[in-house]
Amino acid sequence: MNRVTFATDLCKGCGLCVGVCPKKILALDTGTLNKKGYHPAKIVDQASCIACAVCATICPDVVITVEKDV
């Protein structure tokens, strides 16, 4: 299974990754605040990820890691 992970303590909750995800499986975690006081991004449906890495490419803080299943 493809896997997306976030360095949540470094995420500033800008939402750029949420907006570009073609599968619409990313969201800001409004129930959590990270160390910086932001709502970090999270993946809501890991199984639907196609590992396109558009989210990681657009992230200005390089907090997203995408691992493609081989």
Sequence ranges of the domains in the chain: 3-67
Place of tokens 């081989």: 70
- Spatial contact of 17 and 55, defined as CB atoms under 8 Å apart: yes
What confidence score (pLDDT) does residue 18 get?
A: 98
Measure CA 51 to chain center.
Answer: 11
Q: How many CB atoms lie within 10 A of CB 56?
A: 17
> For residue 70, what pLDDT is reported?
81
Distances, alpha carbon 39 to alpha carbons 5, 10, 31, 60, 61, in Å: 15, 11, 8, 16, 14
According to the model, what pLDDT value does residue 45 have? 97
Q: Which fold has domain 3-67?
A: Alpha-Beta Plaits (3.30.70)
Per-residue pLDDT tens digits for 19-39: 999 999 999 999 999 999 999
Whether the Cβ atoms of residue 19 and residue 30 lie closer than 8 Å to each other? no
pLDDT at residue 27 in the model: 98
Ranges in the chain, pLDDT < 50: none
pLDDT recorded at residue 3 = 95
